[in-house]
Structure 1
């Protein structure tokens, strides 16, 4: 089965760039804010096909990236309690924010990686390879 990715960013240019980098590796869904991301993740668990990777911006309308991250991890935890085979998604924060407080908050909320914009293709692919989301 092909990997499945969710790109969450309120800036379409950023989403399309990441989609371009990822689409040769798997299927990409897009969300424009945290609420859309949470709904997509919940749906992916309802159909027993969770995302392999979620790329998550921090500064977004409705629900910001760190609150979205916390909510996604709660959905995964609830799902794991009802189904022991449930996997969790790798979540990489993709943001313009590089201050240490924000970085620590993201890791405390259990992100797997953190990239600051502008994202270069090489850095992005290198990060996903290290996380074993895509083949090396």
Structure 2
């Protein structure tokens, strides 16, 4: 089973994503970017990293782009890359090309899904990332 962190500030989006992901693993939740970073730092410190982070871009405190950059910085400091790196799916209502390009810049995220999240697209993405069969 996957270890999944859902980072989403909006209750309905968070609930729906957790329901879709629960079949594939254990889901933990963070409701903003700061909370996500606290959870992620502890997971790295204890050697219990997440297999997947579903990360909303627009959040209070710290946005998803900042969280994504911090995740990759922590991984670089620990010498983690490639297959060892945490898979990140950005989830957002934004569909403009600037947000998409920023999320993929320098290989920071593996996938980008727009809300409302379509279950079949999510499952296809999990397969593409070799997280499920």
State how far apart, in whole Å, the 1-side matches of 2:26 and 2:122 are.
17
Which residue pairs with 2:131 in the alignment? 133
Unaligned residue ranges in structure 2 (runs of 5+): none
Equivalent pair of 1:50/1:88 in contact (CA under 8 Å): no
State how far apart, in whole Å, the 2-side matches of 1:126 and 1:57 are.
19
**1:59-115 CA-partner distances (Å, limit 9, x unpaired):** 10000110110011111111227xx9x921100000000100110000015110000
Consecutive aligned runs of 4 or more in structure 1 exceeding 2 Å deviation: none
SS at match of 1:118: coil
In the comparison of the two structures, how many residue pairs are matched? 131
Which residue pairs with 1:115 in the alignment? 113
State how far apart, in whole Å, the 2-side matches of 1:40 and 1:134 are.
24
Which residue pairs with 2:85 in the alignment? 88
Which residue pairs with 1:12 in the alignment? 11
Equivalent pair of 1:7/1:15 in contact (CA under 8 Å): yes
C-alpha RMSD of matched pairs (Å): 1.6
Question: Are 2:96 and 1:99 equivalent residues in the alignment?
Answer: yes
**TM-fit CA distance, 1:41:** 1.0
State how far apart, in whole Å, the 2-side matches of 1:76 and 1:13 are.
31
Which residue pairs with 1:25 in the alignment? 24
